[in-house]
Amino acid sequence: MSKQNQWVAGINAVSAAIEHDAEHVREVLIEAGAKNPRLAEIEANARRKGIDVRRVAQQALDGVAGGLRHQGAVARYAAARSWSESELVGLVEAAEGRALLLLLDGVQDPHNLGACLRSAAAAGATAVVIPKDKAVQVNATVRKTSAGAADRIPVVTVTNLARTMRELQKLGVWLYGLAGEADSSLYQLDLRGNVGLVMGGEGDGLRRLTRENCDQLVNIPMPGANAEGGVESLNVSVASGVALFEAVRQRQG
């Protein structure tokens, strides 16, 4: 895992970082004079865990937050956990035949990535796989949107997504790509074993090579899509949530 310094902004993001990954929080800055009881709670929790806390002026928070809405709290975070490709094999093997992976093919919007990570963490997914190029990486906005999920789930950054997909197949992972024009339904799949759910980016969906390396393409049935005024497709984070929790439903059944 590689590490880098970055600032995390916002009450929920700072609180989650302290709660779930305190060892990597270097210091917490709280707005001086702020009356929000949640800020006092963050300060107390940070001090209890041995994290340095400073009270600073709002302008100082504005500067380090870099335009993000900080709500009076920011934290200097020295983790930004980035799992390497070489660790993916171990994660799959440790799942003992029940790996649940989310592969994102070029998601550009940090809010979408954050929401995907939140759904993946809630579903108990094994890991989220993202390409190194032409895709948003885990940054401060992603961390804030994920509400702490970026600290709880391995996010594996890979150089070549198609090659990683082939390696996963060799490990016995079945890869299902979500595509609106596919003939088969997500709900016809058996999602109880080693499974990778592959989602396209916001613009063009799955790229050609990504499609070709899926074992099967499936759709999410949308009865309203052809009705007058109906939507044509789901947001990538919503589609990810639907697919992940269909796998959860099957595994609990």
| 200 assigned binding-site residue | yes
42 is in an annotated binding site: no
* In contact, 191 and 216? CB cutoff 8 Å: no
Q: Which two three-digit tokens encode residue 80?
A: 């930004």
Strand 6-9 and strand 73-77: the pairing is: antiparallel
Helix axes 37-48, 11-21, angle to 10 degrees: 20
At residue 83, what are phi and psi to the nearest 5 degrees? -85, 140
Closest by alpha carbon to 116, among 251, 234, 218, 9?
234
Instruction: Please give the Cα distance from 251 to 248 (Å, whole number).
Output: 5
Distance, in Å, from the CA atom of 39 to the CA atom of 137, rounded to the nearest integer, reads 28
Per DSSP, the three-state class of 49 is coil
User: Binding residue per annotation — 61?
Assistant: no
- Specify the pairing of strand 52-56 against strand 25-31: parallel
CB atoms within 10 A of CB 219: 19
Residues in binding site for S-adenosyl-L-methionine: 200, 220, 234
Residues in binding site: 200, 220, 234
